[in-house]
Amino acid sequence: MAKTITTRYDVAEHLRTPEEMAAYLEACLEEAHGDAAFVAKALGDIARAKGMSQVARDAGLSRESLYKALSGERTPNFETVLKVISALGLKLHAEAVKIDSPTAEPVA
């Protein structure tokens, strides 16, 4: 029986177009459930797909600090996130969602 050789899956190798990058970020934002490090990791995947050095230059950050900020092991500050999103050629948007609130007691 032949051995099966596997390689580690790297999503960055499959993010080729701006539309694919935006769709990936959108999906990660939905799945994050408030986990900022998860979103940072997704931004890191997209940055690697575009080229980390170029993204770092465009964001005004060092490549090393960008790798650290987007490693998924820490939560970058919001200013860094906004710089990276802009450097990636993406934008955030807001959408209204219905929030279930506990039943309020009537005010007397």
In a domain, 47, yes or no: yes
In a domain, 78, yes or no: yes
Its sign, for the CA torsion 9, 71, 86, 58, is negative
To which residue do tokens 């899956």 refer?
Answer: 9
Answer yes or no: is 58 within a domain.
yes
Please state the pTM of the whole predicted model.
0.82
Query: Model confidence over 13-72: pLDDT tens digits?
Result: 999 999 999 999 999 999 999 899 999 999 999 999 999 999 999 999 999 999 999 998
- Please tell me the total count of domains within the chain: 1
Asked if residue 102 has pLDDT above 90, the reply is: no
Token pair for residue 22? 């935006």
E strands in 35-88: none
Whether residue 68 lies inside any domain: the answer is: yes
Domain span holding position 19: 11-87
CA-nearest of 96, 74, 72, 92 to 83 is 92
Does 100 reside within a domain?
no
- Specify if 102 maps to a domain: no
Is 104 contained in some domain?
no
Closest by Cα among 63, 54, 47 to 10: 47
Of 35, 59, 38, 37, the C-alpha closest to 47 is 59
Within-domain flag for 23:
yes
